[in-house]
Structure 1
């Protein structure tokens, strides 16, 4: 009887003890270019974070892999879940698309690309000579970067894994660039927003034509190495890189990339891309759905708190979120591809709940 009582008490104690994973852990300094600090040192609400953290552990937001928060240039939150580790390369899905914008800016800074007014087909003269659609000859780099190219395209009406989804069909073609260039035109370039992965595939090849390097090698030399990003994986097929969604990086390296945008293109004392280009990237260009706006691959919304928030979403739950007014960068990596919205909270609420740790959002 005493033995049974002892076991019962022990089980009760175990059940009542909070999981160690739910407790906030200060990020570790890895000498990788990110400076680290703690929530308390930044006057951020540790209790509020631990509540959100427990919700993540309880699966409220689906299958989260990592959450990182940078405040005033310091990494103050770095939590991993569901067996994920800081050393793992995470698929970025459509957050990859933003690479086409940042790398275009670097190429413009270097004089390799003149400006965003240049026509798409100027870089593919052999194809241009055969193209009879006058609308396609009007497509500019700016149109590609802002998803206003005018291509007849729809990868959102059907689930991404539906074989009839245009994106799924594109994944199966042998020559990604040719298939993208051959898309039919639907609207006048620059007039209508249509989310389109082929825009980014074309931009990747424009960068290749302009610089003499494929987009991955150009990124390594001009972005990854300066940021201290030493490991990556980028899917390519027949020499054409999938700039629409094929990049994998570690979560800490994604955080560095987000911080670069918060700091107007500067990394420590090095200007990686011009401040003017970052301003261009984060300038709203066309309305998507009120009050949501498209920038150069980024999207912008004014939050209920009155702050402008820029973000890049990716399939499965990838988010890079930058809020300059709060000096805040939030990175989320997840795999919610098979978890319907009815069974989890949308990740917009996770962003909102994580933002609440900031003192400016306290009542």
Structure 2
């Protein structure tokens, strides 16, 4: 019996120590740094990873309006519908247990973050589930949104989970965007895309901003409030984020709820809009997820939601609820933990959560196909 008591108190003491190891920066205060050596991180190899990130800047124009129009030029009818902003140069932060062990570039500069926005949009869905506004992600979205958006034999099958995993195959038009014209396949002509029968919901993952924006629209109606306000009150203010971030929708994307016009925001920026944010605020958001939804002693979003959000979907093992997963699949980073998950956006914007190494990594404007190599270099510094 004595040995069992000893084990119990050892585990209790270990848990207490573990909780104390995490540092959470205060609002409007300097973010504490620690020397990499304190965590047995090889300084030279860490610097080599940082140098690599700085030397491999995204090759697209710093005028993001030009980069967007070039990057999505094959889409029929594509045009800029919301705000854009010229970007800065490469920037990033590497956190270990919440402390900064490396940073580069202007980490306070606000830039577009494109599809990183999707992971924050997903979080507003998690908050709705935690508060009981949505009973289950398996529920049909049309049971909540009955204005015609989810009417018809096909769209009526769509669940919240389908929308979150980007396998809804929602068919229709929102804010002037047609689902079939958004990120079309490389093969075939416009008639092939336009008249192709939609896939069965839940069977095929397709990256599609129109359908993501349908999710944002539906969540706005569930919350009966603009999603930037939901995110600010429930997440960004409690984690001490700055007052500089903004979340935009398309210029004409207004919806009336309770007699009040509200902007329905986007989940990305490939037609403009989306989340505009600095590197430090991205790192704070990542730290919240590293600590399983808890900031200091306050549980802001449930651990159960995070488990759901980072569970592989059936059609794509590398995708959960708008988080990319480093599982063995088409987007696996060889040699790195399969428990890594991350938010990713056009132009090389990333928030990487590495639970096994208790690290958060944020990169801005890294050539997107270099992220795996960058993470491998960082991993070598930990060995």
CA RMSD of aligned residues (A): 2.8
Deviation at 1:184, TM superposition (A): 8.5
Picking from 23, 46, 50, the partner of 2:47 is: 50
- Do residues 150 (structure 1) and 183 (structure 2) align? no
Query: Which of 279, 285, 290 matches 2:307?
Result: 279
CA contact (8 A) 1:68 1:75 kept: yes
1:305 matched to 2:305: no
Give how far 1:243 is off.
Answer: 2.0
Matched, 1:70 2:89: no
- How many Å apart are 1:57 and its aligned residue? 4.1
Deviation at 1:52, TM superposition (A): 2.7
Correspondent of 2:360 among 316, 329, 333: 329
Per-residue CA deviations over 1:73-111 (Å, capped at 9, x if unaligned) read 22211211xxxx232112111110111211111111112
CA contact 1:148–1:191 (8 Å) conserved in 2: yes
1:98 partnered with 2:119: yes
Shift of 1:59: 4.1
1:33 & 1:198 partners in 2: Cα distance? 39
Q: CA deviation at 1:123?
A: 3.5
Is the 1:61–1:346 Cα contact (8 Å) retained in structure 2? no
Aligned to 1:234: 247
Match of 2:356, SS state, is helix
Deviation (angstroms), 1:60: 7.1
Q: Which runs of 5+ in 1 are unaligned?
A: 1-27, 159-163, 165-182
Q: 1:222 to 1:286 in 2, by over 3 A?
A: same
Q: Trace 1:173-252 onto structure 2 (pairs within 5 A).
A: 186-229=198-241, 230-236=243-249, 237-238=251-252, 239-245=263-269, 246-252=274-280
Q: CA deviation at 1:253?
A: 0.6
- Please say which structure displays the higher CA radius of gyration: 1
> 2:134 — aligned with what?
113
CA shift, 1:317, in A, is 0.4
Q: TM-score, normalised by structure 1?
A: 0.73
Q: Which moved more, 1:35-44 or 1:66-75?
A: 35-44
State the Cα deviation string for residues 3-41 of structure 1 (Å, max 9, x = none): xxxxxxxxxxxxxxxxxxxxxxxxx99854954322122
Cα distance in structure 2, aligned partners of 1:128 and 1:61: 37
Structure 1 counterpart of 2:110: 89
**Aligned positions, number:** 294
Give the 3 Å change call, closer, same or farther, for CA 304–216 of structure 1 in structure 2. same
The CA deviation string for residues 237-289 of structure 1, in whole angstroms up to 9 with x for no partner, is: 3322112331011101101111111111111111110011011111112353x
On the 8 A contact 2:336/2:379 being kept in 1, the answer is no
Q: Which runs of 5+ in 2 are unaligned?
A: 1-24, 61-88, 171-178, 253-262, 328-332
